[in-house]
Amino acid sequence: METHVPGDPYIIRYPEIVAVTDREGSQVELVEFFECTGGAMWAQLHYAKSPLVRSVRTVGASTRYILDPGRADLDLVGSRFAAGISGVAVEGDEIAISYIGLGGGGVGASGCRSLAGGVTRSISDPSGGGKKAGATIWLPRRERVLIGVDDTDTPEKGATWTLCHNIAKAVQDEDSRYLSHTIVQLFPVPYRTKNCVAVVCEFASRNPARLVSSFEELLSACTLSPETGMAVFRGLDPRPLLEEFGWAAKRGEVSRERLAALERGGLECVMEGRGLVGAAASIPFYTRYPEALKLCDGTS
């Protein structure tokens, strides 16, 4: 039996932290992947009180913070507001995040995050005991890339959700990090295979063009259907462009002609089989699991 804890027994290293922003750098989404659920939930409660934090939510084993760039002097108080995000800056090809905390909150703000995967460099204070401590970490500036896919299987073989997940893992590299996978229930049209679902995979990327090309190459090689559709949205929030279309495809059959206006708005249609409608419709529902899975056929 081990008689000691490997490594520093008072540091929990976050597996990965990534950040995406819009083209103007006017808003940042910080995604922290965690292993210690208790620590992540505690941080959510306290970090949400920072004036730089617009919102916070849990997605799987990650915490997502929507942040405004700027700096804030946090009036920390033990137990009540013991840690927070005190700085957010978009600096060329990097995004800098500053954290600060008291006691154990200072350990999380300094040592735990400065050693996280995905951090390119950092500065941090000594922490532990009752100390006030913080850190600034620098992350690569990335863009959100959402890849929607529909119609890859046949009545005899295949499943779109498994294929998309395996392709997403295969194309992930240092430039493009695979963040999430969402199954989206669409209206059960007569020509569906069985369940009529599409899939959207989310990435944070420094090289979206290469990511999309690699995904398309593997999808083309692996799909079993001549009607496969693949659509791509690049940007922080797809809802202004695709929300109405997505709900329409959940509530009934949608005409392919409606895609033309979406292409003019920024949607990229990559593989243009019949599944393209479902592929595009899946995109606004990324990580919105209850809505994504809702069946809107009037029977339930």
- Domains, the chain: 16-140 (no CATH), 143-293 (3.30.70.2200)
Residue with tokens 């910080």: 30
Residue with tokens 């040592």: 111
Residue with tokens 């249609």: 269
Neighbours of 36 (CB within 10 A): 14
Whole-angstrom Cα distance, residue 220 to residue 245? Answer: 25
Q: Which helix (H) or strand (E) holds 281?
A: helix 276-282
Whole-angstrom Cα distance, residue 275 to residue 157? Answer: 17
How far out from the chain centre does Cα 16 lie? 12
Q: Do 145 and 176 touch, CB atoms closer than 8 A?
A: yes
Whole-angstrom Cα distance, residue 214 to residue 275? Answer: 19
Whole-angstrom Cα distance, residue 283 to residue 239? Answer: 8
Confidence of residue 127 (pLDDT cuts 50, 70, 90): confident
| Secondary structure of residue 159 in the 3-state scheme | coil
Q: Would you say the pTM of this structure is higher than 0.75?
A: yes
Whole-angstrom Cα distance, residue 206 to residue 273? Answer: 28
Confidence of residue 298 (pLDDT cuts 50, 70, 90): low
Instruction: Mention every residue, 6+ apart, whose C-beta is less than 8 A from residue 130.
Output: 102, 103
Per-residue model confidence (pLDDT) at position 149: 98
* Tens-place pLDDT, residues 64-101: 999 999 999 999 999 999 999 999 999 999 999 999 99
Q: Taking all residues of the chain, what is their mean pLDDT, rounded to a whole number?
A: 93
Rg from Cα positions in the chain: 21
User: Quick one: which of 204, 171, 205 has its CA closest to 287?
Assistant: 204
Confidence of residue 189 (pLDDT cuts 50, 70, 90): confident
Per-residue model confidence (pLDDT) at position 192: 54
Whole-angstrom Cα distance, residue 279 to residue 246? Answer: 10
**Lowest-pLDDT choice from 73-82, 131-140, 194-203, 226-235:** 194-203
